[in-house]
Structure 1
Amino acid sequence: MFTAIDLFSGFGGWTRGGKDAGLDVKWAANHWPAAVEWHTKNNPDTQHVCQDLHQADWSTVPKHDVMLASPCCQGHTKARGKAAGNPQHDNSRSTAWAPVQNAEVNRPEFAVIENVPEFMDWILYPAWADAMQRLGYALAPHIVDCADLGVPQHRVRLFMICSRSKAPLHLQLPQCQHVPARDILDFDAGTWSKIEKPGRAESTLLRVKKGRERFGERFIMPYYGSGSGLTGRSLNRPIGTITTLDRWALVRGDEMRMLSADEALAAQSFGPDTKRPDNHRLTMHMTGNAVPPLAGKRVIEALIAAA
């Protein structure tokens, strides 16, 4: 059995997926106490550290075969933060150096770095890649829509496969049938409100109108942002990307409600036995930041098969 660690472990998507694929995840680290608390509740057999990984002592980390890491993506996304000169986002981008520091000290056989595809557009990406290559790693970027791995959500992500091999390790990832949103949504549950009510934004009413024209009386739509535009989204396709905020609304006749925390977890492929906070906002934040466990499992399974 391969051993692993999970950097920027968050709510535990990488850890859950790695375990499901057969990894022994020995150690997990995150700077956010709430994330560490719930990661611990879901993974009591893993050693946990709550720490800013800029300041980690990598010599104290258990030896491992696989490093899993999800450095902050907010500074790379199209939606915000790509431009240099924003101190908050420049600092978030710098988290990508933590896996390099661990690789220098511990030299695991493999590292899998998850981020948004724009990570490779980062002005310092050539330096980052050069650092990993100087440490003996061949790099193979895989840009994947997690829906193609069986996750009921369109979520395009970069999985950078780093291997101590002469040639880059290109994985044979499965092409799974897409899971429609209707499989994870419960239109008979939740608290609904009337669509036509004082204070409802005109843009929301227009989305509902356009959605009805295309999809009838039941569909989903973005409550804010540009995803799916003004047209809504069919229940026969995966839901759009789950974010850290309440983004997706369900429409049922003349009523609507926001996506529930349990539905968001299901959209991310977390199992129904996943322990989570009662606080909706906190759950959505951690869920939206997570690696979908099923995507992690599929990637790790392909890595083990290729190793």
Structure 2
Amino acid sequence: MKVVDLFAGAGGFSTGARLAGHQVVWAANHWPDAVEWHSRNHPGAMHICQDLHQADWSLVPEHDIMLASPCCQGHSKARGKAKGNPQHDASRSTAWAVVSAAEYHRPEIIVVENVPEFVDWTLYRPWELAMNALGYTIAPHIIDAADYGAPQHRVRLFLILSQSQQPLHLQIPRSQHMPAREFIDFEDGKWSLVNKPGRSKATLDRVKAGRSKFGDRFIMPYYGSGSGKTGRSLDRPIGTITTRDRWAVVDGDRMRMLTRFECRDAMSFPSDYQIPDNHRLAIHLLGNAVCPEPVKQILNAVEAAA
């Protein structure tokens, strides 16, 4: 089947579609860096760098499946949802581009990814009614990426929109969780002493607590919160990969942040997927992406149910 990817970002949605055996024919994003790296990894697709509020949908190839990840920052609890914040208002409004594209093309299937709070948006009901008016039924699915092939706990909402009389509720077999130790390379990265001068007391306390619970090797949030004060075992999936460095690896008396390649693997991108040499840019792109492996499972289930 032919697929288009709105708000394509680093290419997680597109990669999942490719892994499911589909052809990505078109992808768009407003961020030039995202378009550049998406095009490197998906050279067969047409690419456009544009605000999709202004897209000319007649220039988009015909397709069977539309994938869309409208901006989530205005919905996410992690970023806050302050009323009257113009940046968040503009972020939330990107969801209307999906309606506009669907009105023109009417693909059989649309899959929309966002944070679960998307359905709490004040304008979600009008958005849903607009899609219903175009002939789509909507089946919401809350997916934790760790349950479907990614070594990362990442809970996201996937809306399955179909041109069918009844909503398409998918049956997706869960897979065994993949532990973080499968992608941690203890021979790689830039290590430093845990007890180096200037290390914060909060970090040292967390390392101490982690050692008492997990031994010499474990992971923990270095920036931000999560996993309490003890970190987490390498025998379970890592927590959510974010757009900024968050997770540190502890190995005895040394520690370091995750490398960009480890973050790529934690997102379930293939090992040959190209990412920037610039660490900060790579982490931003990856933390903003959709996990490809769960997308593959979702699209396989869509095909089985259709």
TM-score (norm 1): 0.98
SS of the residue 2:95 aligns to: helix
Distance in 2, matches of 1:45 and 1:132, equals: 30
Describe the SS at the equivalent of 2:188.
coil
Matched, 1:158 2:157: yes
Report the alpha carbon displacement of residue 84 of structure 1 after superposing the two structures with TM: 2.2
Equivalent AA in structure 2 for residue 184 of structure 1: F
* Partner of residue 138, structure 2: 139
TM superposition outliers: structure 1 runs of 4+ over 6 Å = none
CA distance in structure 1 between the partners assigned to 2:50 and 2:174 by the alignment: 37
Give the match for residue 54 of structure 2.
55
Secondary structure of the corresponding residue to residue 54 of structure 1: helix
Offset from partner CA, 1:209-248 (integer Å, 9 cap, x none) = 1111110110000012221021100000001000010000
The 5 Å alignment of 1:218-297 reads 218-297=217-296
The answer for the alignment partner of 1:100 in structure 2 is 99
The CA RMSD over aligned residues, in Å, is 0.8
Distance 2:46 2:124 in 1: 31
Q: Which runs of 5+ in 2 are unaligned?
A: none
Alignment of 1:78-93 (within 5 A): 78-93=77-92
Q: Which amino acid counterpart does residue 293 of structure 1 have in structure 2?
A: P
Q: How far has the Cα of 1:89 moved from its partner?
A: 1.1
Cα-to-partner distance string for 1:141-181 (whole Å, 9 max, x where unaligned): 00010100010000001010000111100011121000000
Residue of structure 2 equivalent to 1:124: 123
Q: Distance in 1 between matches of 2:292 and 2:20?
A: 10
Residue identity opposite 2:209 in structure 1: K
Q: Distance in 2 between matches of 1:237 and 1:209?
A: 20
For 2:228 and 2:91, locate their aligned partners in 1 and report how far apart those are by CA, in whole Å. Answer: 29
Distance in 1 of aligned mates of 2:237 and 2:36: 30
Q: Distance in 2 between matches of 1:184 and 1:27?
A: 31
Q: CA separation in 1, counterparts of 2:79 and 2:23?
A: 35
Q: Counterparts in 2 of 1:17-32, with a 5 A limit?
A: 17-32=16-31
TM score, norm. by length of structure 2: 0.98
Q: Which residue of 2 aligns with 1:73?
A: 72
Q: What do the CA deviations read for 1:9-48 (whole angstroms, capped 9, x no partner)?
A: 0111111110111211110000011110111111110110
Once the 2 structures are TM-superposed, how far is the Cα of residue 83 of structure 1 from its aligned partner?
2.9
Q: CA deviation at 1:57?
A: 0.9
* Distance across 2 between alignment mates of 1:158 and 1:142: 6
1:298 alignment partner in structure 2: 297
Residue 188 of structure 1, CA deviation: 2.2
**Per-residue deviation, residues 35-81 of structure 1 (Å, max 9, x unmatched):** 10111111110110111101111121111111000111111111123
> Which range moved further: 199-208 or 294-303?
199-208
Give 5+ residue unaligned stretches, structure 1: none
1:33 matched to 2:41? The reply is: no
Q: Secondary structure at the match of 2:104?
A: helix
**Equivalent position of 2:197 in the other structure:** 198
Structure 2 counterpart of 1:143, which letter? Answer: I
Cα deviation 1:173-218 (Å, max 9, x = unaligned): 1210000000010122211101112221121111111111110110
Letter in 2 for 1:253: G
Q: Which piece of structure 1 moves more, 237-246 or 184-193?
A: 184-193
Q: Tell me the distance in 1 between the aligned counterparts of 2:83 and 2:173.
A: 37
- SS of the equivalent of 1:239 reads coil
Say which SS state the counterpart of residue 161 (structure 1) adopts.
strand
The one-letter amino acid paired with 2:210 is G
